[in-house]
Structure 1
Amino acid sequence: MKRNSRIYIFSFGLLVLASCSLTKYVPDGSYLLDEVNVISNQKEVKTGSLKSYVRQNPNSKWFSLIKIPLYTYNLSGRDTSKWINRMWRRLGDAPVIYDESLNLRSQQELKKALNNIGYMGASVKSEKKISKKKLKLTYIVSPGKPYIVRNLKLDIKDSKINAILKEDSAATKLSKGMMFDINVLDAERQRIVNLLANKGYYKFNKEYITFTADTVRNTYQVDLTMHLNLYQATPQDEPKEHCQYKINKVSFITEYDVLQSSALSSIEINDSIHYKGFPIYYKDKLYLRPKILADNNFIQPNHLYNERSVQNTYSSFGRLSALKYTNIRFFDIQRADSGLLNCYVLLTKSKHKSVAFELEGTNTAGDLGAAASVSFQHRNLFKGSESFMIKLRGAYEAISGLQNYYGNNDNYTEYGIESSINFPRFMFPFLSDEFTRNIRATTEFGLKYSFQLRPEYSRTIASTSWSYKWARQKQKVQHRFDLLDISYIYLPWISTRFKEDYLNSANSIFKYNYDNHLIVRSGYNYYFNSIGGVMQNNTTASNSYSVRINFESAGNVLYGISKLIKQQKTSNGDYSILNIAYAQYIKGDLDFAKNVEIDKRNSLAFHAAVGIAYPYGNSTVLPLEKRYFSGGANSVRGWAVRTLGPGSYKGVDNNIDFMNQSGDIKLDLSMEYRSKLFWKLQGAAFVDAGNIWTIRNYETQPGGSFRLNRFYKEIAMAYGLGLRLDFDYFVLRFDGGMKALNPAYSSGKDRYPFLNPNFGRDFTFHFAVGYPF
């Protein structure tokens, strides 16, 4: 207690000392802008969205609590010729000095924002509270009564467009009784532009749409009229109806260089072919099959111009690994009163072949090692943008303590080869070209083989896969369907001593996972990200959420065949193929993550994940690679990876037991406060909870089974701090977790390490790449 008291007193002293120096570099007669608030005297108006209109904000706070960047700046001396002073100033933030002109501008911006959402009589005033050289600023917003649209009229001078808008009237954002919100009016303008862009109106823009608002005297009502004006190339021209454009011709130019002149005449081409009416121009040799170009193009001759087709074409060609850039251009060839467009799809070739080398260090429970790999990739194997990869890998690890115990093999070695080929289309027999063209999926086939040699055993793992991926809704939703995934695990040699110590015991988990076995599975994965994109970097400055659902099953078809042909079971009581038992199970996972922005530097992130897997039929135990583990950098961070659970299981004599510390059910809950510190450095404070459980009551995992009347008592808890180096394209993460509640104990100080912390016993350090969720 005395030691903890000293720490608290020392920390408090540092804070007091830092607070005394907050105004160190605030000039006399000036004030440090210490705090800014926006409040409204009407609860209907939320001030959260108004804060962005304030033009001067105070110094940032770490974790919304302490102005560490300002404290850091104030550590510097006044002599800027010294490097140490320059360093403190670069790392910190200079004090924000209150500026009256920015205060007045903020009031104007806040009032303008209120006017824009219908509060035309709004007023804003500021109040200042000064204490020594610090100033607290409060903006008091008085919105007043909002203006409401009483009547709504449409003045559409173009007859064709008028007919189109009438057909789509249900989608309008305007209605009688709505607030007179300028933002909604602008959104309606953009909606009409988007609608017409998909109906052939290539040159139409928002400037042709205007509004007239007449207020009714002594009321808060508005008569609103939307005007859609006729086309004029110049103010002197006679107004006329807007032209609907048709696509005249679509041409492909495959040798476009973005670094050269943009003029079509400067592109180097010396040959051409025609395919289904599409001219294709190239130099020397056409590197993509004509069918690939035609199938990925959605801009069709003799059809009205359609912006959606243009974007679909961009998206479709952007998926092709054989291409680096895609640029689509249109040229107007006006003929009489009709508008025609010639379209040119300009393609830039990527580098098709590459070789990569990788070196990595490994550390398995203190045993150090190294791995190396070399890979070759071809991004256009059959001239259809097929991506082919082959990779060779070797690894070595020095294992301590097992050499003289199990056999003659001194260390761990691994050799492996893997290969995959990815086709940028949905490949399956009997499907029409139209279906495969519209779904825009990718098909992947993979092969993998590795041989592992340890002091205890040697193992061979071989697998093959056939899967599909596709995305919709601006890549917010992504799907993956594993049609077939076959894994074969074969152990040609096992040490006699290892068999005696582990495999001849009653431990069914050990026995099963050191027998030869076969896994034939299928699965489906659904992923939704509210931001969109392939994978968004979940940093502090965004409001977003994601949902991931995964389901897989294995062995059901094989089990049905075994039953159908009345196959005899083996001596172990299971069915087999070529004397190899196959696994049978179902498994489902649900993962949810949400990021809530507090301000530009701080956010709260939440994560919840649950999974359950059930072995049945031909299996009583899940394969080890399909079982759940808890603890580690992405789970309950007070425990090292694979050291928590299942349930209240303590391990063997309270020591780590990797094989038995696995389960069939998993629960993970996390909350993390993230704060931008300085440069690329971010900080985090987190609380984690979770555990794993088994469905069946295994003798070698006492206390590990899931029971409704006690599982909530077996949820482990941890807390900690983390640092992250965010380089945008990758993140280095350092997390330190402390145990708070240990379910391995039913009572006493060992169960509640939060009340009796022991750094040597309860602390775990994690290094990882990427955010935990």
Structure 2
Amino acid sequence: MKNTLYIIICVMVLVGCSSTSSVPEDDKLFTGLRKTEYENYVACDHFYSTQEEVEAALATTPNGALFDSPYHRMPPYRLWIYNAFQHSRGGLGKWIRTTFGKPPVLLSAVNPALHSQVVKELLRARGYFSGYVNYDVLTSDSSRTAKVKYNVNFGDLYTIDTLTYTNFPEEAQKIIEENASKSLVKKDAPFDVTVLEAERTRISTLLRNKGFFYYQPSYATYLADTIAEPGEVSVRLHYADSLPDEVGRKWYIGHVNLEMRKQSALEQLRDTTHRRNYTIVYNGKREPMRRSVITRDMRIRPGRMYSYDAYQQTINTLTAKGLFSRVDLSFAPRDTSKTCDTLDITLNCVFDKPYDVYLEGNLVGKTTGRVGPGLNLGFVKRNAFRGGEKLTVNLKGSYEWQTGHQADGSSSKFNSYEYGADVSVEMPRLMFLNSLTRRLRRMRRAKGKHVYIRYAPPTTLIKGSFDVLNRSGFFQRHIVSGELTYKTHSRVLVHHQFSPLIIQYEYMKHMTPAFTELVNKSPYLLVAMSDQFVPKMRYSFSYQSPARLHNPIFWQVTLSEAANLLSLGYMAFGEKWTDKEKTMFKNPYAQFLKVETDYSKTWQLTEHSKLVGHVNMGVVWAYGNAISAPYSEQFYVGGANSIRAFNVRSIGPGRYHAKTSYLSYLDQTGDMKLQANLEYRPRLFGNLYGALFLDAGNVWTLRSYSDRPGAVFKPKNILKEMALGTGIGIRYDLDFFVLRLDWGIGLHLPYRNGFYNFDRFKDSQSLHFAIGYPF
């Protein structure tokens, strides 16, 4: 391998000045563009957007393009490698040429004349009817290379004078006129083909949502007059002549045939059930799923006018249930008469496999520095009770032992094991709330208000779990929990999740004398590790930008509280709000308010590189019956998805530094968190991407603890108490998931003075292997 690398390096040096050796005699090596010159234009938003399209149409990247730029180059190493092994037909030489080399970009392949013609048509489509493009090929007698320089003359910009809609059927014409204010084409706006096409599509969608099932955008064409007014265009959208009669009338939904297949779309169905306007066709003694489970999410229903939006929503919601491998909806006129206006529909649903059973065995290496084997046995049954429910049962167990170092480089011995089970049922409806949602929907319709379209069916999750956590030589802790959670999607990119009831009961089954002595010396650990009952409520909102945006964002906010309603109940019976040690099920209950937000933004720098910024903040405030939030609700930093120069829970809170390293992860949590990350992600080659990152953050307490000095949050100290780290990483993108390896290097410890304040360089490093991007 060393000899191969030596050969490659030598070849790169020897052929560094021979970039044109593989260029044909009658051609030249394209080495990039000169800056494009623009003439005869008026600076405005329309010009700048058109200029971006022109630049994209003219762009051709040469060999060695810097960040895919058509203007700037670096030494074309991959071309040199290609030239060195261009005559190799097999073996190592061919592998090197195809893997590391890249053939020359020839002037004949660039074809500047074709690019010029494309841009000329682009200018006409954007309203610059007299625009044109010239180009020059820049060469020298002593070189077989060439650059291209374009000159773009925009000419006059034509604008819209009027837009009229002609020849449409009377009822369609009335609908268009009623919605004229929503037209995308405005008077005095630039003549732009993309806007005109968007308007034609809007008219098509508008009519199809009003019952015109057979109407298509191509059934109307534009006629433009550029002579009547100089520099202005009068436009007509003309309904085509000689279209079939069914195109120009409204259609209504008739009978619904609901076909349920368990195996494939070709399965022959034999059994039938009739219910009013529905016919259910299936195989077996009874319907494989209750009809209402499907029809509840159908917006296309018997007796209603056809609507394209209702059709799309029906397909989307049924597909999103996760129960079917295929969903088809077809329409057919009830008869062939000229007055027929009824469409009978057939909904074909092919069920997915009913069962999933999986066994996961792994050797885990965690960012806490602990490693060990783990096992997870899972069972999933779809449509468990014929109502579209998904039943999931999980059995899990793992064993870990500490091998890693803390932030100061010290190691520890801390073995543990845990095991548990959970059972959950997810239902495609808002259990206990369906009557309320129907009532609200009817009220909105009665008032003429818009009824929000759901892009996925709402779901209800009921879950119960039991976990046992054992720390060898210290304690065994049991956790019993249950939750009721509702999930809805008001829009395709907006998600809501509300848990009106989350119950968690934590109790210490066993503690060794050594751990008891340690806890008694720490007021914080005494509270954090005590038995407690946590009745909680939580709401989460998340928004994800559309994928088409160049610089998308993700934002999530989560609010949660515990036992406030319970404390109000105690007050009604004479207890004070500030009284401590009030109990529920013989244990003190937690009382707190928690807010957390997570925000990230992506800047697309080039086609294959991006810059990602991320901020995470949170605060939890315990009061009333509690002096500290439950340990599971507190914040921490460090690890593969946080500050990657440090292990999990090895930093903070504030300037506090744990003296007992083997239990430091227990008390290095806080009531407040601030974390910021910046990561540059370029593509190296193929599906392999690199990363250069900078991470900062810490946690703090809101109260003072004598055993954790320097932990309290003080605004004036926030910058010097931020842990700081940098590093590099690689990611291998397999489309369905990403393998990630990050090497973090610490720059600043909050509990020491100075900037780079590590004793040894090796103490400032952490290596993290993970799946998926950190944010």
TM-score (norm 2): 0.87
- The alpha carbon displacement at 1:410 in A equals 10
* Structure 2 equivalent of residue 504 of structure 1: 520
- The alpha carbon displacement at 1:418 in A equals 0.6
Q: 1:650 to 1:584 in 2, by over 3 A?
A: same
Aligned equivalents of 1:22, 1:108: Cα separation in 2: 30
* Structure 2 equivalent of residue 560 of structure 1: 568
- The alpha carbon displacement at 1:174 in A equals 1.4
Aligned equivalents of 2:265, 2:323: Cα separation in 1: 18
* Structure 1 equivalent of residue 531 of structure 2: 516
AA aligned to 2:505 is Y
Q: Does 1:387 align with 2:390?
A: yes
Q: Does 1:118 align with 2:124?
A: no
Q: Secondary structure at the match of 1:317?
A: helix
AA aligned to 1:771 is Y
Q: Does 1:154 align with 2:165?
A: yes
Q: Secondary structure at the match of 1:736?
A: strand
Q: Secondary structure at the match of 1:110?
A: helix
Residue from 402, 412, 416 that aligns with 2:416: 412
Aligned equivalents of 2:431, 2:25: Cα separation in 1: 75
Aligned equivalents of 1:729, 1:646: Cα separation in 2: 37
Task: Give the CA RMSD over aligned residues.
Answer: 3.2
Residue from 32, 47, 55 that aligns with 1:51: 55
Q: 1:257 to 1:488 in 2, by over 3 A?
A: closer
Deviations 1:452-500 (A, max 9, x none): 2222111111110000011132x21111111111111111110101221
Q: Does 1:604 align with 2:608?
A: no
* Structure 2 equivalent of residue 470 of structure 1: 488
* Structure 2 equivalent of residue 34 of structure 1: 31
Q: 1:399 to 1:544 in 2, by over 3 A?
A: closer
Q: 1:691 to 1:13 in 2, by over 3 A?
A: farther
* Structure 2 equivalent of residue 675 of structure 1: 682
Residue from 636, 641, 662 that aligns with 2:648: 641
Aligned equivalents of 2:414, 2:638: Cα separation in 1: 30
Deviates more, 1:365-374 or 1:418-427: 365-374
Segments of 5+ residues of structure 2 without an aligned counterpart are 1-8, 405-412, 442-452
AA aligned to 1:612 is V
Alignment of 1:165-564 (within 5 A): 165-216=176-227, 219-233=230-244, 242-255=248-261, 260=266, 268-285=268-285, 286-332=287-333, 333-363=335-365, 365-398=368-401, 411-428=415-432, 431-432=435-436, 434=438, 440-455=457-472, 456-473=474-491, 475-500=492-517, 502-505=518-521, 507-531=522-546, 543-564=551-572
Aligned equivalents of 1:275, 1:206: Cα separation in 2: 37
AA aligned to 1:349 is F
* Structure 1 equivalent of residue 5 of structure 2: none
* Structure 1 equivalent of residue 444 of structure 2: none
Aligned equivalents of 2:751, 2:31: Cα separation in 1: 48
- Say if 1:517 and 1:582, in contact at 8 Å, map to a contact too: yes
Aligned equivalents of 1:133, 1:581: Cα separation in 2: 84
Q: 1:295 to 1:144 in 2, by over 3 A?
A: same
Q: 1:429 to 1:671 in 2, by over 3 A?
A: closer
* Structure 2 equivalent of residue 684 of structure 1: 691
Q: 1:746 to 1:192 in 2, by over 3 A?
A: same
Q: 1:514 to 1:432 in 2, by over 3 A?
A: closer
Q: Secondary structure at the match of 2:248?
A: coil
Q: 1:13 to 1:469 in 2, by over 3 A?
A: farther
Q: Give the % identical residues.
A: 27
Q: Secondary structure at the match of 2:338?
A: coil
- Say if 1:158 and 1:229, in contact at 8 Å, map to a contact too: no
Aligned equivalents of 2:663, 2:470: Cα separation in 1: 23
* Structure 1 equivalent of residue 446 of structure 2: none
Aligned equivalents of 1:568, 1:149: Cα separation in 2: 72
AA aligned to 1:122 is G
Q: Secondary structure at the match of 1:254?
A: strand
- Say if 2:580 and 2:624, in contact at 8 Å, map to a contact too: no
Residue from 692, 700, 707 that aligns with 1:700: 707
Deviations 1:383-437 (A, max 9, x none): 0110001111122234689xxxxxxx99533221111001100111572573599
Deviates more, 1:195-204 or 1:554-563: 554-563
Aligned equivalents of 2:618, 2:641: Cα separation in 1: 15
Aligned equivalents of 1:727, 1:62: Cα separation in 2: 26
Q: 1:654 to 1:389 in 2, by over 3 A?
A: closer
- The alpha carbon displacement at 1:376 in A equals 1.3
- Say if 2:582 and 2:588, in contact at 8 Å, map to a contact too: yes
Q: Secondary structure at the match of 1:369?
A: strand
Deviations 1:314-359 (A, max 9, x none): 1221133432211000112332333321100011011112211111
Aligned equivalents of 1:14, 1:657: Cα separation in 2: 54
Alignment of 1:40-79 (within 5 A): 40-41=38-39, 42=41, 43-44=43-44, 45-46=47-48, 47-54=51-58, 56-59=60-63, 70=79, 73=82, 76=85, 78-79=87-88
Deviations 1:540-574 (A, max 9, x none): x964221111111112122222333235999x943
AA aligned to 2:300 is I
* Structure 1 equivalent of residue 635 of structure 2: 628
Aligned equivalents of 2:717, 2:15: Cα separation in 1: 48
Aligned equivalents of 2:200, 2:570: Cα separation in 1: 64
Aligned equivalents of 1:653, 1:167: Cα separation in 2: 75
- The alpha carbon displacement at 1:762 in A equals 2.5
* Structure 2 equivalent of residue 236 of structure 1: none
Q: Secondary structure at the match of 1:657?
A: helix
- The alpha carbon displacement at 1:183 in A equals 0.6
Q: 1:116 to 1:356 in 2, by over 3 A?
A: same
Aligned equivalents of 1:17, 1:526: Cα separation in 2: 60
- Say if 1:459 and 1:491, in contact at 8 Å, map to a contact too: yes
AA aligned to 1:186 is E
Q: Secondary structure at the match of 1:704?
A: coil
Deviates more, 1:94-103 or 1:279-288: 94-103
- Say if 1:38 and 1:50, in contact at 8 Å, map to a contact too: no
Aligned equivalents of 2:375, 2:706: Cα separation in 1: 41
Q: 1:761 to 1:295 in 2, by over 3 A?
A: same
- Say if 1:32 and 1:135, in contact at 8 Å, map to a contact too: yes
Q: Secondary structure at the match of 1:358?
A: strand
Residue from 108, 118, 122 that aligns with 1:99: 108
Q: Does 1:141 align with 2:152?
A: yes
- The alpha carbon displacement at 1:683 in A equals 1.4
Aligned equivalents of 1:346, 1:588: Cα separation in 2: 45
| Count of residue correspondences | 728
Aligned equivalents of 2:644, 2:19: Cα separation in 1: 36
* Structure 1 equivalent of residue 407 of structure 2: none
Aligned equivalents of 1:346, 1:68: Cα separation in 2: 56
- Say if 1:542 and 1:597, in contact at 8 Å, map to a contact too: yes
